[in-house]
Structure 1
Amino acid sequence: MDTRFSEDFELEGEPEREFHPGIAKRMAHKTVAAGAVIRDPDNRILFVVPNYKPYLDLPGGIVETGEPPSEACRREVLEEVGLDLSIRRLLVVDWTPGRGPWSDQVQFVFDGGVILAGTQLRPQASELTGVRWSSLADAHLRASLRRRLSLALTALETGVVLHAEFGHLLNTP
């Protein structure tokens, strides 16, 4: 149990018990992911180059059981590129359907801030072949990630958290 939430767990009371055992295990379980939009002073975005898929991605990854998305984002950014960032505000929540080997996901995109040019990055060799700084227009991305990042950049400008499905905006600022 996360000790930051111990008082909240106490206020919630005893965990619910199933009236019909096994129902909870039969319910759908989605993957949750969290990534950070990290920029340089020239407004280029930091992308990771995964060794397990053909497109660039944001630094971030899968949220572990019992882990808040913001903490997962911080942990994954540290693991993937060696940056121990204070993860800032939420920019976008996006649902993506399952495709190929990947289940459907709820993806949280956070503001990772601006880092100085020349900041030392250490790509995680077991998952990445490197990192790349790029504008959104020039990055080799899946269409859904391009849409999601476009929304994230809008959220940075407007200060409004955006809700999307497959990178398509569901609310308007």
Structure 2
Amino acid sequence: MSDSTGPYAADFELDGPPEAEFNPGIARRMAHKTVAAGALIRDPAGRLLFVVPNYKPFLDIPGGIVEPGESPSAACAREVAEEIGLELTPGRLLVVDWTPGRGPWSDQVQFVFDGGVLDPAAVIRPAANELTGFRWATLEEARPDLRPSVHRRFALASRAISAGQTFHAEFGHLLSPA
């Protein structure tokens, strides 16, 4: 929440009143990055759940853009519910990856959370306004339908699950364990 009524109300109270802007307009002139969050969801066979967006030519994982005042984990849960109809509590943070701006998209900070292993009986309902479907595939099976940088990010996320670590990356290249 961006105000003092949400889950961090006590923290807002402890921090005191908002900081005054000493140079009027400076905050509006500063760069703003897009933040996105997604869930790496697996089936019992270890395949990954990919969504097929109707607004770009590549596969992705369930997730999306973090709204102003929303935390990345809350955005992940909201986006998974909106995109595929699953109520999910995001697990451990697997990867934080910075991606440069490209085409119509600004540079982004991407959070990938552990979405867990989905029960085979779970019903997946792709949102028709965003997706044309979904697909279960191994990372290698999906490789032709992923941008190389996205493939690298998801490979790091898969590695983070087995390593029990969180990775810091830029453009899908590992910088360090966080």
Give the TM-score taking structure 2 as reference length: 0.95
1:27 aligns with 30
Residue 137 in structure 1 maps to residue 150 in structure 2: no
* Among 63, 71, 77, the residue aligned to 2:66: 63
SS in 2 for 1:116: coil
Cα separation, 1, equivalents of 2:37 and 2:103: 20
* Partner Cα separation in structure 2 for residue 110 and residue 78 of structure 1: 14
Aligned-residue offset at 1:172: 4.3
Q: Deviations over 1:39-78 (max 9, x none)?
A: 0000000000000110000100000000000000000000
CA contact (8 A) 2:166 2:177 kept: no
**Counterpart of 1:74 in 2: which secondary structure?**
helix
Q: 1:165 aligns to what?
A: 170
Q: Secondary structure at the match of 1:111?
A: strand
The answer to whether structure 1 residue 89 and structure 2 residue 96 are counterparts is no
Question: C-alpha offsets along residues 3-29 of structure 1, whole Å, 9 cap, x if unaligned?
Answer: 210010111111111111011100000
Q: Which runs of 4+ in 1 moved over 4 A?
A: none
Greater shift, 116-125 or 77-86, is seen at 116-125
What is the CA distance between 1:116 and its match in structure 2? Answer: 1.8
Alignment of 1:73-84 (within 5 A): 73-84=76-87
Specify which of 133, 138, 154 is matched with residue 149 of structure 1.
154
Per-residue deviation, residues 119-150 of structure 1 (Å, max 9, x unmatched): 21100000100000000001010111100001
- Amino acid of the structure 2 residue aligned with 1:155: A
Question: What is the match of residue 110 of structure 2?
Answer: 107
Count residues with an aligned counterpart.
173
Matched, 1:8 2:11: yes
With 109-118 and 58-67 compared, the bigger mean Cα shift is at: 109-118
In the superposition, the TM-score normalised over structure 1's length comes to 0.97
For the aligned residue pairs, the C-alpha RMSD in angstroms reads 1.0
Instruction: Indicate the residue corresponding to 2:21 in structure 1.
Output: 18
Contact 2:44 2:119 in 1 (8 A): yes
Query: Share of identical aligned residues, percent?
Result: 66
Letter in 1 for 2:169: A
Contact 2:43–2:117 under 8 Å retained in 1: yes
